[in-house]
Amino acid sequence: MSDLTRTTAWAALQQHQHAIAPLHLRDLFARDPGRFERFSLQAGPLFLDYSKNRITDETLTLLLALARESQLPEWIERLFRGDRVNGTERRAALHTALRHRDHSPVLLDGTDVMPDVRRVLDQMRRFSESVRSGEWRGYTGQPITDVVNIGIGGSDLGPAMVVSALDADCGPLRLHFVSNVDGADLSLTLRRLNPAQTLFVIASKTFTTQETLLNARSARDWFLAQAGNPSHVARHFVAVSTHRDEVVRFGIDPAHMFEFWDWVGGRYSLWSAIGLPIALAIGMDRFDALLTGANEMDEHFRHSPLARNMPVLLGLLGVWYTNFFGAQTHAILPYDQGMHRFVSHIQQVVMESSGKNVTRDGRPVSCATGSVVWGGPGTNGQHAYFQLLHQGTPLIPADFLAPIESRTPLGEHHRVLLSNFLAQPEALMRGKTAQEVRVELERAGLKGDDIERLLPHRCFSGNRPSNTLLFQKLDARTLGALIALYEHKTFVQSVVWDINAFDQWGVELGKQLARDLLSELSGMPARAPHDASTSGLLDHVRKRLPSA
């Protein structure tokens, strides 16, 4: 692909941005009564209003031209077709096959992957149902009451987020997630549990991930301190992995190893056997509903025209603000307490995918490729960082997400929640003019110098863009669609920016250095010299480190 910033579409967007930048959203709405109807759409269980963006019909026309010039339709088809879109690792990115719902084949190098996918789903169903029903017993003959998932990154963030979001559907098992190599994470979890009634799910593709295996071995030591006999490990530890030999060496029965494949990237893996803790928490029927919601979004993304395609539109709007308005962050603000871990998962999906500084063919990128994703539950944020959104100097596009119907209705709580949810995007869009503030202060009885003193502090410019996503209720199907929406949005942006969304080499350097530093903390000589800062810190720590 030629340099993106030298394309005809890019040049047209730059010129258009200069023309549209002075326009205010409140004026665009005043001039165009049909703006909401034209700039909103439904996809599966999700309704998107994107009318509060600093765009016109011409903006969308130009953004869609950029998408076509970037060959986005061809790349979408390549993704679903099983082409090796992950060029540096020479792999497909076929996570969509994991939630494929009909009986048609999904081919990878001419072989249908669906028989293997269905085999593992069937294995997950049998196992999760036996544990949830109490048929599966621990070494003392007691049923399992608690499940501890030990993983990191995609093996933790996605499953933990889904279980948290669908908490109302969980039971009878209690789910716990351990990922941090800080011993407090595992220790605080284990001290509440009975080893005889605890099941551990060890999630590691290669079964060599340092943090995961250290936590897994410590969990096994804790278990054996009471169980005694190492043969009991087989009733209390299962693995999600591809490395049978390492799983057996750990002491896990290979019959209780749940397979997934190298065409499943970590941040896209909750749809695979990595989702076993989800099935244990909410049951396999609801896990299937999660897959169904994601598949609905897959079908929408693959087959809908670009101009009415939800992931495409959200992706292009992100390009618009990142590359033409200089926005460096993006806020995701769910108005549902169950979604308090949603942003953490989407952070990984977006920032691990878009954090690239070279194109697919290895050339330095010519524009910004991604933004910092942050946020959290909206009502809490209103009393914290929303001040920055409303009156701060950065432009921060935001996504507001909310269910129309609460899963846990309580008096007027949900109506109050929704009123706040609807008010914040309106306030960001409208702002408050000096004249409006002046009238407000006069009505409050202030006069003269008091008004002039307060006036600049009480004004805010508005014209802050946002998207609004509504859904009837947060259930498994809806959550699946939401996650897939952000996955595909991220892919759209990677295509436009000509970067590989499916590798993550940036995380490897720190891992390599940590292995060397671990041996040095134990007194071994350095394999290679460090900079003065690292050497000084290492020496400072070693002198004060308690003996093992």
Helices 57-69 and 310-324, axial angle in degrees (round to 10): 100
Percent of all residues in the chain with a pLDDT value above 70, rounded to a whole number: 99
Report the pLDDT value the prediction gives residue 1, as an integer from 0 to 100.
Answer: 58
Report the pLDDT value the prediction gives residue 507, as an integer from 0 to 100.
Answer: 86
Averaged pLDDT, 468-475: 98
Q: How open is the CA angle 439-440-441, to the nearest 5 degrees?
A: 95
Residue carrying structure tokens 């202030």: 446
Rounded Cα distance, 502 and 504, in Å: 7
Report the pLDDT value the prediction gives residue 523, as an integer from 0 to 100.
Answer: 85
Percent of all residues in the chain with a pLDDT value above 90, rounded to a whole number: 95
Question: In DSSP terms, which residues pair with 201 in a beta bridge?
Answer: 149, 238
CATH (residue range 108-285):
3.40.50.10490
Query: Cβ contacts of residue 19 below 8 Å, gap of 6+?
Result: none
Phi, psi of 179, deg, nearest 5: -135, -30
548 pLDDT above the threshold of 80: no
The pair of three-digit structure tokens given for residue 195, joined into one six-digit string: 């080893």
- Burial string for 349-380 (b: 16+ CB within 10 Å, else e) reads bbbbbbebeebbeeeebeeebbbebbbbbbbe
Cβ–Cβ contacts within 10 Å for residue 543, how many?
7
Q: Are 277 and 147 in contact (CB under 8 A)?
A: yes
Give 267-294 pLDDT, tens digit per residue.
999 999 999 999 999 999 999 999 999 9
Q: What is the pLDDT of the chain when averaged over all its residues?
A: 96
Averaged pLDDT, 501-530: 90
Report the pLDDT value the prediction gives residue 2, as an integer from 0 to 100.
Answer: 67
Cβ–Cβ contacts within 10 Å for residue 329, how many?
17
Give 399-420 pLDDT, tens digit per residue.
999 999 999 999 999 999 999 9
Q: How confident is the model at residue 510 (pLDDT cuts 50, 70, 90)?
A: confident
Question: In DSSP terms, which residues pair with 334 in a beta bridge?
Answer: 401
Q: How confident is the model at residue 364 (pLDDT cuts 50, 70, 90)?
A: very high
Rounded Cα distance, 254 and 246, in Å: 10
324 pLDDT above the threshold of 70: yes
212 pLDDT above the threshold of 90: yes
Catalytic residues: 352, 383, 511
Rounded Cα distance, 303 and 271, in Å: 21
Q: pTM for the full model?
A: 0.96
Rounded Cα distance, 204 and 66, in Å: 39
Q: How confident is the model at residue 511 (pLDDT cuts 50, 70, 90)?
A: confident
Give 225-262 pLDDT, tens digit per residue.
999 999 999 999 999 998 999 999 999 999 999 999 99
Q: Are 293 and 96 in contact (CB under 8 A)?
A: no
Q: Are 159 and 274 in contact (CB under 8 A)?
A: yes
Least confident of 47-51, 166-170, 543-547: 543-547
Give 73-120 pLDDT, tens digit per residue.
999 999 999 999 999 999 999 999 999 999 999 999 999 999 999 999
Give 33-51 pLDDT, tens digit per residue.
999 999 999 999 999 999 9
- Return the half-sphere exposure (C-beta side, CA atoms, 13 A cut-off) of residue 391: 10
Q: Are 360 and 498 in contact (CB under 8 A)?
A: yes
Q: How confident is the model at residue 517 (pLDDT cuts 50, 70, 90)?
A: very high
Report the pLDDT value the prediction gives residue 512, as an integer from 0 to 100.
Answer: 87
Domain 4-69+304-430+464-503: which CATH class? alpha beta
Residue 132, SS3? helix
Averaged pLDDT, 131-152: 98
